[in-house]
Homo-oligomer: A and B are copies of this chain.
Amino acid sequence: MFSKTCEYAIRAMIFVAHKSKDGTKIGIKEIAKGIDSPEHFIAKILQDLGKKGLIQSLKGPNGGFFFENETLNYSIADVVTAIDGNKLFSGCGLGLKECSTAKPCPIHNEFKKVRDDIFNMLQAAKLTQFTDGLENNLTFLNRK
């Protein structure tokens, strides 16, 4: 469904949303441990998301990653679009150059339906809404 990069990105963003709820900054090492990902790899990914404005960071002692505007409250769909682009949300399921209702592939109708469902569910899934589940060990971001 998502690229490995995107899977790490989503896990990391949810993790940061969880850990930095009160404005605390969270370091890359702790993030890498928390989501069980290669440290330098997730660093690159978050740098990229930082450039695109989806996350903030500060260098130096007590530095780390955090969300400046809780008000923005990005969704998982925003993260997916930033990393994997919009192929999943608007591309043809059978790989035709573009998805088109006028010249549809054989599964266009059914595929469009589930594709839209995926988009809607990821759009509705805000990064901040998972804090409680993680806090109470009802949901997990790693298998350690």
Contact = CB atoms under 8 A, between A and B. Distances in A.
Interface of A: 1-2, 4, 7-8, 10-11, 14, 76, 88, 93-98, 103-108, 110-111, 113-114, 117-118, 121, 125, 130, 133-134, 138-143
B94 A7 contact: yes
B4 A139 contact: no
In this complex, the member of A96, A134, A142 whose beta carbon has the largest number of chain B beta carbons within 10 angstroms is A96
Given A10-B94, A141-B94, A118 B108 contact: no
Given A95-B2, A97-B143, A106 B130 contact: yes
Contact of A108 (B76, B88, B106, B139): B139
A97 B130 CA distance: 20
Nearest to A139: B106
A2 B93 CA distance: 7
Nearest to A91: B1
A84 to B, nearest CB: 11
Contact of A141 (B11, B98, B106, B121): B106
Given A1-B93, A95-B4, A134 B106 contact: yes
B11 A94 contact: yes
Contacts of A98: 143
